[in-house]
Structure 1
């Protein structure tokens, strides 16, 4: 491990910090419910974290973790996840469905993910596509998953379907195009968030490839390998992109 284990990572205080940083649960009552703790135990550990200025009140019952601790937890959890993936049976160059079964074999056609599990799964599946990735995301920003797309093998066809860039985003779009990613900007207003991988796995989710989904919002999605559903999603995307393109 390149990063040291953060303070309180494996104890009850660490679970509270993880709920905020990794699961993006910011309200005190929701954190307690998520951890399923008694009032007494939760109050003891929560109040201690406040006293130590590790977590702080942002108003409207919302709590945040101080920047240094948040960064430590984020970096360490990503490193742990990368290590776990590396030690699994990882058919990187094989079929993406085979890889998916190493991650979750307890489903038939669909399964649901949320919070940290969704975030980690999305990062991983981007790295395991072998032929094509199609991303439908109304909003785009300079975030890790965009960087992952840009630095994939150029043999992998990559398409990003998003809204037309504002002046602040134009340089990012130019950088994305320079990395060989096709960008399409439909004339139709859209709010859907869809991801297709090798035309074999699709995700329908709340996730935008921007800073809010990447670091602030709690996101969730449904993963499917159903050929019928994937064909319908593909057709919807084709209809959306039938009118305009940036390149």
Structure 2
């Protein structure tokens, strides 16, 4: 197989990767047959998976542009995957061309892909770090520089926290990051939820138990707790399509079928 120029040297093209599978669900082109094969198997078990991924990405874009319109021009995307299709820097710079973005992921494959893709972008950088070690993440030079001069920063934890089990204390990790943010900053969060489709929760979690990244779905109350100490932006924590939709008709008749909840909170 001929290796495209966006692929880091030494990448195993026969081994599926979660970040490239996500790109496939979104309709992107930065994926391989191994990724597509695994993704199709997941869709057989969970037919709405691509729509859920796209609803999640659409929420990310709306939230980033909303914050950019309020004056935010610094973004810290934790658990970013590969910033290809409808990326944070593209969404932010549609409003603020000078927006700076630091992408963070704990997957070396996603980090290598991202660095290669963004090597000519002076306003974006990529860091390999893990939310479960928040002090280490915050100490990285790129992250410290983003936070260092007191300008508001939007932290994105989009479809990330459901991959952090309770035993790794995700609430403490989020609180550590929150406490490092300047006044006026924001937390953008989406999370797989037990609500909406409780009949499917076990099946959804079973799919991910077969992967290196098992899923912990949480209730609305549990998701709202991640915003402790922050001022929730209207309409609060809601199903993915319900967060500030572009038009009322874009919500659809059954937003709960997206099995994900989302919200944005601001640092007082």
TM-score (norm 1): 0.31
TM-score (norm 2): 0.29
Larger radius of gyration: 1
